[in-house]
Structure 1
């Protein structure tokens, strides 16, 4: 599909004057990372991710028809946002920018007063993709309203594809949080129907080794990230190693596609850990440069390497743009790896905090 396929040309706000909708939308963890983008939120390289389950955002969108005497380009979006029960005016500029970007595709936004109520099941802004789950949840709520207003029957396939398209305009990685268990975002010649405009479910059969895969997240640091993802992406624009990195990511998508189908866990480990360290190396060599890992991040990585060498386990790690570590392992090793984590690794976590998660199936609409 192309951009114009997502423009809503006909809708009737008189049909729906008020109501609310709630979506529970997961975060995701990229296996092949996207780092670097161009306007409007187009990735410089494709990425592929596990959709998570326990790490989610729960968002309710309340809407009330606005009685406007006149509406023009100067009419402002009208909304309030509450996060974890507290009014968050400092979140409003980001949402306002998101509404500006998507208004062309959902032109009814200025016809309503909105109240956005949101909460996370995990610490905000600490290296877990809160913008991914948050923006995708809001995009799904808006799509639910569009479905009511459009007056035509909308297929689920179109609904989710447009939701991913809209979510991308709020946060690139949000395009990967609509469906599951594995999502590809970004055009790749070997991935059928892949697109820079939205994420798609991995189109090939997934080997049983990757079914019910686990992701235990060790919260090394629950504070604010040293650098936002937005700033990090911008640093790729003049990065001396950027073009080679984009080529590498495309090659790794090809390799990972085969691995996900053939079930080779050793090759999975090598590729996923290399991708994680490459992401951080790009930040280490940018201008200005940043170190996103903490001392305990490195201690945990070395403990994982030692454990794997001693036991031939299939445990591995990946990192997002922060200090926290995602420990990935197959269902068959759940008991062994859980014991390893609790006995050897929790002491390196902030207040022993960690989250047990696994690969999930995607977003779900709730009735509240």
Structure 2
């Protein structure tokens, strides 16, 4: 089993003075939720997610060897959509500090990081996963220039490990279509250190699965993910929740093989509600759903019962609703969304997405 020390490189065999890389990395939506973590961004329980396709971050990394600059500090400029973004810089500084042991060249260069999202900023869609994954891919492209003998498997594993140190769920945005993060007995190769592609059979029903994201509340999150995860340390139901996540992931192994949508819906919706139940029963406690979140959930249940169309919901740690459904029923579900759910979205906004293939190098 891989250890973190396996990703500390030997002395590099090549050098490079300057260059530019550009990668895109998508957001992802967890089906089994990760909630609670240990030191160094290690998850308290395993998770599995659909990698998305359209909601992504595109990051360009320009680098040049330092000239007359302090060799003991990190040096970088950060642009968001082409404009300086000073309030993002502390998070990037912390990220570089965490990963320096794995990328010892970081203080040798001045970096210009220019990043943008394909989805509206402050839309309520978490951009930390896609953003940190895209940055990690760029940094690994630089390391591959310094070590051309690097294997593709190592490249992607280490990119996922680095992304995790920026934002836990970012490690699931490096690859697609289904990604598991966290040790799970029945998932060969699974690791707390990085995400791995789901290794078992996936029924055709789950190919090209759709995710329409209903933007109920585009405001700042009421509670940060870091604080939310920390609240699991003394949570009265934490241990049972961590066991439940393992059980639900085991159930999904069989469900993904059989294509049983009724069972899939039961696990996914239960996971979403459990995530929010953990927040409602922590100390301090939070209710992150809004009245319109509950209205949408009830409308989905009514529509599913009336039509037998296999549409379901999941939630992140916020008010927005991800509507999940097979490609085969796309037209009917989109009509339902337009007829009955758009009115519950802030400014009528929603985003259509689907399963994607993970990060992409942009020439």
Same fold (TM over 0.5): yes
Retained in 2: the 8 A contact 1:125–1:225?
no
Residue ranges of structure 2 left out of the alignment (5+ in a row)? none
Give the number of equivalent residue pairs. Answer: 362
Counterpart of 1:131? 128
Counterpart of 1:300? 296
Change (3 A) 1:51 1:70: closer
1:333 is matched with which residue: 319, 329, 333?
329
The alignment status of 1:99 with 2:79, answered yes or no, reads no
Counterpart of 1:176? 172
The alignment status of 1:17 with 2:29, answered yes or no, reads no
Retained in 2: the 8 A contact 1:212–1:331?
yes
Change (3 A) 1:5 1:125: farther
Q: Distance in 1 between matches of 2:70 and 2:78?
A: 25
1:17-166 map, 5 Å: 17-68=17-68, 71=71, 75-150=72-147, 152-166=148-162
Query: CA offsets, 1:129-155, max 9 Å, x none?
Result: 3110000000000000000012x4122
**TM-aligned CA deviation for residue 2 of structure 1:** 1.7
Q: Distance in 2 between matches of 1:285 and 1:88?
A: 36
Regions of 4+ moved over 3 Å: 68-71, 123-127
**TM-aligned CA deviation for residue 68 of structure 1:** 4.7
2:361 is matched with which residue: 348, 355, 365?
365
Q: 2:40 aligns to what SS in structure 1?
A: coil
1:233 is matched with which residue: 229, 232, 235?
229
The alignment status of 1:279 with 2:269, answered yes or no, reads no
Change (3 A) 1:68 1:346: same
**TM-aligned CA deviation for residue 127 of structure 1:** 4.2
Q: Distance in 2 between matches of 1:216 and 1:86?
A: 30
Q: 1:139 aligns to what SS in structure 2?
A: helix
Retained in 2: the 8 A contact 1:126–1:225?
no
The alignment status of 1:242 with 2:238, answered yes or no, reads yes
**TM-aligned CA deviation for residue 70 of structure 1:** 7.0
TM-score by length of 2: 0.97
Retained in 2: the 8 A contact 1:54–1:121?
yes
1:206 is matched with which residue: 202, 207, 211?
202
Q: Distance in 2 between matches of 1:291 and 1:253?
A: 26
Retained in 2: the 8 A contact 1:29–1:129?
no
Change (3 A) 1:82 1:38: same
Retained in 2: the 8 A contact 1:184–1:201?
yes
Q: 1:48 aligns to what SS in structure 2?
A: strand
Q: 1:64 aligns to what SS in structure 2?
A: strand
Q: 1:40 aligns to what SS in structure 2?
A: helix
**TM-aligned CA deviation for residue 118 of structure 1:** 0.6
Residue ranges of structure 1 left out of the alignment (5+ in a row)? none
TM-score by length of 1: 0.96
Query: CA offsets, 1:195-247, max 9 Å, x none?
Result: 00000000011001100100000001111111111110011111111111001
Q: 1:288 aligns to what SS in structure 2?
A: coil
Query: CA offsets, 1:95-119, max 9 Å, x none?
Result: 1111011000000000000111111
Q: Distance in 2 between matches of 1:175 and 1:303?
A: 33
Q: Distance in 2 between matches of 1:195 and 1:85?
A: 36
Q: 1:169 aligns to what SS in structure 2?
A: helix
Q: Distance in 2 between matches of 1:361 and 1:70?
A: 40
Q: Distance in 2 between matches of 1:86 and 1:286?
A: 39
Counterpart of 1:348? 344
